[in-house]
């Protein structure tokens, strides 16, 4: 195989020891592969951590364990290796290949001009790459924005200005387990915040994504008549929360301020797309005087509707995402990176392992899978443009 992925993990609390254990575990898997006849060295490492670590110490330790290996990543609300979910831990995925080309770009601050940060990070990641994907090759861009400090949808738009729509897009927002304090993005051996990291990968083997959320329409489409970034203020010239309440009441549900967060967890908002799909927006809380604060931008003038979902639908969506990515690769898969929304995990509760097991089983039992619980996801629904999503699962499969 020209390309392979090897995954290592650690749940140790000490950053230096965690980096040592996770990298050593991945290298052990690589050594077994080398024994089978390959001497290729790691071309790249994706490093995903939970937020309990000191970010600077973790970056230094990881760089020490991966001398000369380009690596990037971020902190999130949880990480997983296969079906093993770590609420505190570190996962490292080594992409071993003699042919894969990798570029890493970072830019900040996303809080001041997210679009410009996306443009700069993508431009830096693609520096030295051919302007178009070589014939027979595949290009993927992984976008890892700080989702707490700025408009992540703007960051993605900026990256797409540079990377275009004819490539594979994946990624997710760095987060801190909904404490909303500080996230970390990793690039160039350093830890950043209020930043976006973009990883560009060119491979002679096919790469592909699958993206699904599993939510279905619950209420009728309504017009967004006033929105300010991530705040949905008015629907049909009324307070957004009042319209949300009325929609729920029509279905026999009473939603008050105290119960909003619980109800909204299973009843997010969906922005209809031309092909019948919906981009999900997760309303986190009601803000005065009756608006909804969402994870991700809600455009003025768009249509939006209340959606509904359940654990069966979410696991089914995970299956569809994995199958879509697997079938699009249409050949042996070296490994897969999964970006799965933290709120999906919260909805699934103890059954979240069913979702993680589904990714594994549909991609193939021998395929290394690693991922994280993100604060928003990056991907392309159907034939649309790459966007920033909520409550969605994105599976990036790398051909072997």
Mind listing the domains of the chain with CATH numbers? 3-212+313-399 (no CATH), 216-308 (2.40.10)
For the chain, what is the radius of gyration of the CA atoms? 20
> Which pLDDT score is estimated for 175?
86
pTM beyond cutoff 0.75: yes
> Which pLDDT score is estimated for 182?
80
Query: Rounded to 5 degrees, what are φ and ψ at 323?
Result: -65, -40
Backbone angle region of 359, left / alpha / beta, with phi > 0 → left and psi within -120 to 50 → alpha: alpha
What number of residues does the chain have? 400
pLDDT in tens, 164-217: 999 999 999 998 866 667 899 999 999 999 999 999 999 999 999 999 999 999
Percent of the chain at pLDDT > 70 equals 96
- Give just the sign of the alpha carbon dihedral 281, 285, 288, 290: positive
Which tokens go with 13?
């609390």
Residue 275 — very low, low, confident or very high, per pLDDT cuts 50/70/90? confident
* DSSP label of 133: P
> Which pLDDT score is estimated for 177?
67
> How many Cα atoms within 13 Å fall on the side-chain side of residue 219?
25
Return the bridge partners of 149, or none: none
Residues 6, 368: Cα–Cα separation, whole Å: 6
Segment 98-112 mean pLDDT: 96
> Which pLDDT score is estimated for 21?
98
Residue with tokens 């650690």: 10
Asked whether residue 274 carries a pLDDT value surpassing 60, the answer given is: yes
Output the CA–CA distances (angstroms, integers) from residue 339 to 170, 247, 357, 395, in the order listed: 8, 31, 14, 7
Asked whether residue 35 carries a pLDDT value surpassing 90, the answer given is: no
Pair 389, 339: CB distance under 8 Å: no
Asked whether residue 50 carries a pLDDT value surpassing 60, the answer given is: yes
Segment 102-121 mean pLDDT: 97
Pair 227, 296: CB distance under 8 Å: no
Residues 282, 232: Cα–Cα separation, whole Å: 11
Return the bridge partners of 239, or none: 234
Segment 4-10 mean pLDDT: 97
Segment 312-334 mean pLDDT: 97
Alpha helices (H) in 36-70, listed in sequence order: 55-65
Segment 293-304 mean pLDDT: 94
Query: Rounded to 5 degrees, what are φ and ψ at 360?
Result: -60, -50
Residue 220 burial (CB count, 10 A): 10
Segment 356-371 mean pLDDT: 96
> Which pLDDT score is estimated for 32?
72
Pair 29, 7: CB distance under 8 Å: yes
Asked whether residue 1 carries a pLDDT value surpassing 70, the answer given is: no
Segment 308-334 mean pLDDT: 97
Q: CA geometry: angle at 4 spanning 56 and 397, to 5°? A: 85
The mean pLDDT of the chain is 95
């Amino acid at each position: 195989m020209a390309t392979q992925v090897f995954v290592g993990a650690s749940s140790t609390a000490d950053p230096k020891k965690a980096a040592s254990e996770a990298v050593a575990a991945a290298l052990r898997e690589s050594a077994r592969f080398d024994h089978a006849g390959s001497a290729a060295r790691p071309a790249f490492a994706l490093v995903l951590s939970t937020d309990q670590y000191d970010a600077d110490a973790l970056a230094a330790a990881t760089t020490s364990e991966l001398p000369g290996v380009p690596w990037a990543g971020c902190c999130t609300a949880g990480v997983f290796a296969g079906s093993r979910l770590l609420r505190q831990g570190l996962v490292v995925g080594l992409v071993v290949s003699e042919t894969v080309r990798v570029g890493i770009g970072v830019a900040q601050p996303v809080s001041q001009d997210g679009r410009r940060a996306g443009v700069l990070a993508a431009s830096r990641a693609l520096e030295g790459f051919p302007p178009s994907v070589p014939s027979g090759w595949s290009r993927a861009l992984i976008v890892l924005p700080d989702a707490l400090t700025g408009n992540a949808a703007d960051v993605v738009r900026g990256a797409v200005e540079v990377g275009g729509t004819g490539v594979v897009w994946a990624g997710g927002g760095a987060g801190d387990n909904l404490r909303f304090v500080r996230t970390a993005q990793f690039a160039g051996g350093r830890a950043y915040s209020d930043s976006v990291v973009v990883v560009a990968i060119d491979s002679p083997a096919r790469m592909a994504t699958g993206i699904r959320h599993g939510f279905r329409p619950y209420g009728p489409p309504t017009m967004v008549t006033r929105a300010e970034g991530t705040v949905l203020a008015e629907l049909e010239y009324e307070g957004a929360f009042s319209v949300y309440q009325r929609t729920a009441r029509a279905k026999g549900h009473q939603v008050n301020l105290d119960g909003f967060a619980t109800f909204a967890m299973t009843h997010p908002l969906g922005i209809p797309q031309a092909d019948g799909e919906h981009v999900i927006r997760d309303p986190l809380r009601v803000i005065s005087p009756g608006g909804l604060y969402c994870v991700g931008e809600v455009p003025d003038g768009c249509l939006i509707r209340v959606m509904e979902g359940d654990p069966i639908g979410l696991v089914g969506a995970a299956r569809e995402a994995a199958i879509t990515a697997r079938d699009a690769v249409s050949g042996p898969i070296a490994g897969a990176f999964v970006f799965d929304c933290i709120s999906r995990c919260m909805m699934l509760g103890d059954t979240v392992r069913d979702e993680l097991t589904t990714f594994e089983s549909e991609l193939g039992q021998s395929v290394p899978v690693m991922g994280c619980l993100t604060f928003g996801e990056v991907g392309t629904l159907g034939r649309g443009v790459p966007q920033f999503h909520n409550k969605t699962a994105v599976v990036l499969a790398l051909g072997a």
